[in-house]
Structure 1
């Protein structure tokens, strides 16, 4: 596999959920543990996780090994976590796969496919699900500073991606990028309605 790091953005307070999503349990594991394992099992050699709200609880409850990155500015939006995480990726890695903590149905195979795209020379690789872009996303090291510079508020890499369409490789992936924003969202994926 490629020389790639993984990055979980997990700093938010989860206001609509009622607790930080890093602590939320799904299928017997926290969303944080699940995201870290997905990146590791997908071929990321080191996984970093950006923590903010509930950071101490998340660290003490975690069972998966990861490198914590503390974002004290988490309340200022997702961009602050992306900036902190990208800045913390060790220089030995050629790129990083970024995922969100609140998408528990993303599969390790999606990460594997992005890592493979990176090994084939992709500068930016984005998972797609039935033709729609989602997470995770891979970014080559040479673009990390520009991505961080363009991130603001709750806008992460979107502006960089929009401005550089020629760099982007879309990668069809299995899985489901559904967000778990509320307890009802979690209940819906744990107990799906009959078809």
Structure 2
């Protein structure tokens, strides 16, 4: 492809780089000039146009984007028609987006003319949401480059939307003196709202003392009748032998991971019992605001496995927004005496400055 000024006598078949007028007739950017178009431009006194002239082995931007998108293997993805060198791909279901980052990087390394952009790995998506886009930068690209990209896509899934499943969940809430029933009731409402987008539902709740044995007994019962068990502790996990991980093991289950590098969400516990997942929720999961619990819950509802290694790899990007209702925010409030001392120092400095002036 050649790009630049083109004499009007040689412009038939060229693709306009800018909107161009021929009297009252206007040609939009990226319009491919016909013989009649060239005659109209010449009649209007146009002697040259800035345009792209395609070589025989070039593919136009729309054709190239369409061929690349057609060569991709994916699940629960809807491919939109090409326009202005772009093909957008949208979620065919609500769920969790997964992507083969190595394939995306390989495609984007073929040539700067060809680009693919996607959402982040494990991003939650709603049906109809755009999840990826194929964009050809110039007006055309060599066909052999497009073929190279298509070969990268052969035989492997490049991305997918893992659809949410309507699972059933049993809830355990432990109780200590001073825990208000209103807090427990709110926790149920927040959890039901989290499950609503997937069609999941809470089937049962057990409120027990904050002790290993009753929690283990409740978990055993709920695991028999539900796809998942979630435990909200009256006190956050403070040790790997604390009530929630110990109760999972007492019930005959296995603790996959206790603690996660996502904040808020550090104190999550993940286990398995009778083939069902058991999640010890961190205290921040009582809030509807995004936290580490959402990251694990969404993946499990979407049918994705979550391993100890998966959780260990959540640290980059795992520092989320602060939740005002946290019992112990990251940044402690300044000590009153220290605050007063700061004020005194500032005033003293101001006074000294005014005297020096």
The answer, yes or no, to whether TM exceeds 0.5 is no
TM-score normalised by L of structure 1: 0.39
TM-score normalised by L of structure 2: 0.24
Structure label with greater radius of gyration? 2
**Greater relative CO, 1 or 2 (CA 8 Å, sep 6+):** 1
Instruction: Name the structure where strand makes up a greater proportion of residues.
Output: 2
